[in-house]
Amino acid sequence: MSNLRMRSLLLSLFVGGLAFLPRGAFGQNLVSRSQLRRTVDPSERSATGEIILTVDNNGKQTMQANVGGLGLEAFALFQAPYATFVTNCCTDGIAPLNQLNVAKGTWSRLVTGTNAPPPELINLGYANLSDLDGTRADIAGPASVLSEIVTSTNIVGNTTNLVMGIPVPTPVVTNIVQTVLWAPLYAPSADPSSRSYLRKGTLSLPDVPPGPGAKATVTVRFNGSSGESIFDVRATHLERGQVYQVWIADTTNQTSYVLIDAGTMTSISSSARYLRDTKFGDPLPQQVRDAGDLSGHIIEIRDQFDFVYLTGLVP
């Protein structure tokens, strides 16, 4: 075979092989996935979903919301300038969701732009999808009951829209929405898996332990490709018959902090576990963006009498 024919064959194999490579194999496609989680903790597992931001190599920019298990009526996609869930503040509507299946409670919405963000986001002042990094998306329904203000989000202005118990600007306008799910947003990336991490640590006994044999591990995990966050505490050799809770400090400052009750552990005999996994729509402790945001915070396992069984730092 001549050198010319050999080069031609190799070139054909190379070009033909490109068809089997995923789009973006050369780093041209950008994507980020964020998992939706509930706004109330503790709460029963129910709806789940994700927000997907993409920029393909043809300049198409999209934002897509997919939700399952949400069986009620009238929901829309909103966006707010915070990386975590903040009640009773400002958010902006992007688009209503489309109900795909009533029985399964599936909803979806896709907004698209060409060589620019979707016009719905341009109208909110965003020049690029990467500008959404550090903000959040909400799935919300209309709220008209004033008692819902505690778990609702304003959609007019940047301050509380209540004057003497009356919503403004007019009582007949829906000025708040009931947010049921939210997700932190990340800038689309050619390699979202590079954001992934896994950290593990162990807790220690206090000076006077109520359960001398107690042991516990803490695992925080983030999957950059899927947006899944896991916060997992497992304890063994605890005293049987007690109810155990996880407490986590509100700051990394170890001299000035407030311990916040993160929730009750699930106990089986002398073992107990506390798990929050955004794959199931679980909110993370203190509604943080992802599990690693709690790294360096003091964590304790206590019973209902406030006896401290184990203590340490979130890895």
Asked if residues 90 and 152 have their Cβ atoms less than 8 Å apart, the reply is no
Tell me the domain boundaries of the chain: 22-184, 192-313
229 CB-contact burial (10 Å; exposed 0-12 / middle 13-18 / buried 19+): buried
Strand partners, 60: 114
pLDDT digits (tens, 9 = 90+) for 280-307: 999 999 999 999 999 999 999 999 999 9
Q: Nearest 5°: phi and psi at 286?
A: 60, 20
pLDDT tens-digit series, residues 214-234: 999 999 999 999 999 999 999
22-184 against 192-313: fold identical: yes
pLDDT digits (tens, 9 = 90+) for 125-166: 999 999 999 999 999 988 653 333 334 454 444 344 443 344
What fold, for 22-184? Immunoglobulin-like (2.60.40)
Say which amino acid occupies 298: I
CATH number among 3.30.2270.10, 2.60.40.200, 3.30.470.20, 3.30.2130.10, domain 192-313: 2.60.40.200
> What is the reported pTM?
0.82
Enumerate residues 6+ apart whose C-beta is below 8 A from 292: 197, 199, 220, 222
> How would you list the strands of the sheet with 30-35, edge to edge?
30-35, 48-55, 60-68, 106-114, 98-101
Element (H, E) at 7: helix 3-18
The four Cα atoms 96, 101, 106, 108 give a dihedral, to 10 degrees, of: -40
